Amino acid sequence: MSGDDILDAYSRTVVAVAETVLPAVASITVRSARGGGSGSASVITDDGFLLTSAHVVDAARTAEASFSDGTTVALDVVGRDSLSDLAVLHARGSVPAPLQFGDAARLRVGQLVVALGNPLGLAGSVTAGIVSALGRSLPTQTGRVIDEVIQTDAALNPGNSGGVLADSSGRMVGVNTAVAGIGLGLAVPINATTREIITTLMTKGRVRRAWLGIAGAKITLAPELAARIGSPTGLQVAGVSPNSPAELAGIHRGDIVVELDHARVVSTTAVQKLMVEGAIDRPIEMTVWRNGALVDAIVVPRELDEN
């Protein structure tokens, strides 16, 4: 295959993705008590639900969407989840056909991806690149971390947030969420976890999470402890919030969390994954390493208040 043939194949793929995806991508304008803003959103259901980034619609209750076919429609903010940086909107009128979800878990480094959105107010913009890395972590304004973030070199600029990261088949595999630097963009993945969050936002308007009240840091364990628990890393408690479930259970600064609810803990994200709605107000066992010994405690997580 000649160089021209390869270039033509690449171009045909990007063109096909753009033709498939762009009709469902909207430029949205947001106004709230905190001022105005803009971003991107995409249609994800036949009955008018759209997906965007939570920070795009922060503090807003309504927005307006404009599509490439000239359709303009008012939107209601159904629910937002700042801990995943995802939000769901619902259109008050008819919208284009929805996109199909892909599975970010199937992505591979080096795979072609296409970013579609409305950067700097330029509606219907398309950029292409590759998956530069997988499994990145993205800190949020709440201090929590979004896991399994996709890194791409497809050019992203302000206004791309909430837009689509698509694979070569035109399936949505991510929601563009941040510009980390020149040639470096990040997207929240579409996977089993985020699809559950999206469904919960559509049906309930919010995602309930449990809270322990600890801050921690991933550390390399001493050989003795690493051999004992079967992991080279662990989570050391750096701080305990006053009157939190962790403090009431007797957890101390300096403890190394080994297990939570019978699951091995090796990082902060491991704890976050366990702090789901089902853990709220449920006594769970927590094992920590303290002064050369394993200590068991019973903690009762409370519902996390994002405010």
* Domain endpoint, select from 91, 122, 137: 91
CATH number for position 286:
2.30.42.10
Tell me which residues are annotated as active site: 55, 85, 161
In this structure, the answer to whether residues 219 and 176 fall within a common structural domain is no
Q: Is residue 96 part of a domain?
A: no
Query: Could you give the CA distance from residue 43 to residue 62 in angstroms, rounded to a whole number?
Result: 16
Last residue of a domain, one of 65, 91, 117: 91
Whether residue 215 is predicted with pLDDT greater than 90 in this model: the reply is no
Q: Let me know whether 67 and 121 are in one domain.
A: no
**Same domain assignment for residues 171 and 214:** no
Considering 204, 221, 245, which residue would you say is the last residue of a domain? 204
- By residue range, what is the domain housing residue 87? 3-91
What's the structural domain count of the chain?
3
| Residue 87 domain flag | yes
Are residues 74 and 91 in contact, defined by beta-carbon separation less than 8 angstroms?
A: yes
Predicted confidence (pLDDT) per residue in 242-274, tens digit: 999 999 999 999 999 999 999 988 777 788 888
Q: Does the residue 98 lie in any domain?
A: no
In this prediction, residue 281 has a pLDDT band, given cuts at 50, 70 and 90, of very high
Rounded mean pLDDT, 114-128: 87
Distance CA 174, CA 190 (A): 5
Q: How far is residue 42's CA from residue 117's CA, in Å, rounded to a whole number?
A: 9
**Pair of tokens at residue 245:** 């479930």
- Same domain for 81 and 145, yes or no, is no
The pLDDT of residue 7 is: 62
Which CATH number does the domain housing residue 171 bear? 2.40.10.10
Closest residue by Cα to residue 109 from 167, 151, 148, 165: 151
Q: What is the mean pLDDT of the chain?
A: 89
pLDDT in tens, 132-189: 999 887 776 666 678 789 999 988 887 789 999 999 999 999 999 866 666 688 999 9
User: Please, what's the b/e burial string for 220-252 (b: 16 or more CB within 10 A of its CB; e: otherwise)?
Assistant: ebeeebeeebeeeebbbbeebeeebbbbebebe
Quote the CA–CA distance of 258 and 287 in Å, as a whole number: 6
Q: Report, as an integer, the average pLDDT of 276-294.
A: 93
Alpha carbon distance 131, 55 (integer Å):
23
